[in-house]
Amino acid sequence: MFDNLSDKLDNALHVLKGHGQITEVNVAETLKEVRRALVDADVNYKIAKDFTKTVKEKALGQDVLTALKPGQLMVKLVKDELTQLMGGEAAGVNLSGNPSVILMSGLQGSGKTTFSGKLANYLKNKKTKKPLLVACDVYRPAAINQLHVVGEQIGVEVFSDEGNQDPVAISKAAIAHAKENGHNVVIIDTAGRLAVDEAMMTEISNIHTAIEPHETLFVVDSMTGQDAVNTAKAFNDRLNFDGVILTKLDGDTRGGAAISIKSVVNKPIKFIGTGEKMDAIDVFYPSRMADRILGMGDVVSLVERAQEQYDEEEARKLQKKIAKNAFGFDDFLKQLQQIKKMGSMKDLLGMIPGAGKMLKDVDIDDDAFKGIEAIIHSMTPDERSTPKIINSSRKKRIAKGSGTSVQEVNQLLKQFNQMGKMMKMMQGGGGRQMMNMMKG
């Protein structure tokens, strides 16, 4: 996601890293590069210009004696401004009605049908929602069929009336059906065309006027860059929609649409699509997205995933062991297994600040832990709980048993010792010290 833009911004911001202080000259130089990076990412020129102007004013208005170094300060200012530009806070979907009616709009191929399915699935997983999907594309029987396939896949009912040419009538019948059958959310997938045209606009605005949805969402393919922004404007002028869904962000290396759409239509991006599968949907958080764009990783999402695996009881036991210096290889193994449950390695590492960029072209093998696990499995229980006893003859035996080399065994032992030291440091109130070290 956004690899090109991230690289260019990183280069731009690098200029300031060696400088001791913010000056007009180095700020201007850096921001010229930032602006170029944004324009290359297909951000509208005026937006890019306003962006750098705001950042410049803030940078020069800063107290020189700020605790942050110029490079860090600029990264922070750019991050804050990007977050603002993308909408500040995350915006939810209005689900107040019973049923709540959600109308989907957008061009053909934008990912409307796929997203309707993703949203239905997302809401269904929230347990309190029972969605109904409605197929309202009266021109393409294949589209109706596609929605039925999606519905079947996620176990959500699909309402359709093939042969009926009146989308308003279908929508109304669907809402009545939802009321009778206890569906509390109705998601209406409408027809799209390849380009904005009057007939489509009239049709969607007729549906909009007739059924008065609680929420009207506009779906757009992020890879179309400035076109996405222009299409958003055309739809918003007619529908005054409530929010934007940016799809295909997984294939978007530039990010122009994500950055500019909010400031052009003044409507928030609510969700993003990051793949073809039904679970490839994420709530859009401007600040997390800014972090990702700046290659700062997405630590919050990483922590959330970790929390899903977190077991308080286990954590307490572990802490005691560390305090007593009794952390052994069995505990290490348990930790590894927990990490593995959090997702694929590449995915996880990509969320760590700085790591995403470094690992961009590296093929990370999810079996990377296998060697480590094999080594630990070849240790005796005594060796695992008291690694100090592992002398050279034991090392040879372990290497042989695990199909690795003595060198690899040594490496793991060394890493383990270092980890032990680090853990002690964190325990002894050194956490702050560590954080500072990491901040560099």
Residues that bind ligand GDP (CB under 6 A): 106, 108-114, 192, 247-248, 250-251, 273-276, 280
* Nearer to ligand GDP (CB atom), residue 108 or residue 301: 108
CB of 277 to ligand GDP, least distance (A): 9
Please indicate if the annotation marks 248 as binding a ligand: yes
Q: Minimum distance from CB of 2 to ligand GDP (Å)?
A: 14
Q: Is 192 annotated as a binding residue?
A: yes
> For residues 216 and 378, which CB has a smaller minimum distance to ligand GDP in the complex?
216
Nearest to 378 by CA among 413, 352, 415, 343: 413
Q: Which helix (H) or strand (E) holds 133?
A: strand 131-136
Give the nearest distance from C-beta 248 to ligand GDP in angstroms.
4
250 is in an annotated binding site: yes
Q: For residues 283 and 271, is the Cβ–Cβ distance under 8 A?
A: yes
Min separation Cβ 126 and ligand GDP, Å: 20
Least separation in angstroms between residue 225's CB and ligand GDP is: 16
Shortest CB 344 distance to ligand GDP, Å:
17
Q: How far is the CB of 318 from ligand GDP (least distance, A)?
A: 38
Q: Is there a binding annotation on residue 255? A: no
Identify whether the C-beta of residue 273 lies closer than 8 Å to the C-beta of residue 118: yes
Buried b (16+ CB within 10 A) or exposed e, 178-196: beeeebbbbbbbbbbeeee
Asked whether residue 224 is marked as a ligand-binding residue, the answer is no
CB 132 within 8 A of CB 186: yes
Residue 41 or 119: the one with the smaller Cβ distance to ligand GDP is 119
In the bound state with ligand GDP, the residue whose beta carbon lies nearer, of 245 and 423, is: 245
- The three-class DSSP label of residue 275 is coil
Q: How far is the CB of 384 from ligand GDP (least distance, A)?
A: 44
Nearer to ligand GDP, 275 or 401 (CB): 275
Q: Is 111 assigned to a binding site?
A: yes
Report, in Å, the least distance between residue 231 CB and ligand GDP.
12
Which of residues 6 and 231 has its CB atom nearest to ligand GDP in the complex? 231
* Annotated binding-site residue? 106: yes
CB nearer to ligand GDP: give 274 or 402: 274
The crossing angle, in degrees rounded to 10, of helices 167-180 and 198-211 is 30
| 247 annotated as belonging to a binding site for a ligand | yes
Report the candidate in 136, 90, 117 with the shortest Cα–Cα distance to residue 289.
90
Closest-by-Cβ residue to ligand GDP is 273
The arrangement of strands across the sheet holding 185-190 comes to 158-159, 131-136, 185-190, 100-106, 215-221, 243-247, 269-273, 281-283
112 annotated among ligand-binding-site residues: yes
Nearer Cβ to ligand GDP (4/184): 4
Q: Is 270 annotated as a binding residue?
A: no
CA distance 220 to 232: 8
Radius of gyration of the CA atoms of the chain, in A: 27
- Inter-CA distances, 276 with 37, 113, 220, 273, 279, Å: 29, 11, 14, 8, 8
Residue among 238, 185, 179 nearest 213 (CA)? 185
With respect to ligand GDP, which residue has the nearer C-beta, 222 or 260?
222
Nearest 5°: the CA angle 205, 211, 215 is 80
CA distance 413 to 430: 23
**Residue 17 annotated as binding site:** no
User: At 139, phi and psi to the nearest 5?
Assistant: -100, -30
With tokens 């689900």, the residue in question is 95
- Feature table: binding site: 106-113, 189-193, 247-250
- Feature table: binding site for GTP: 106-113, 189-193, 247-250
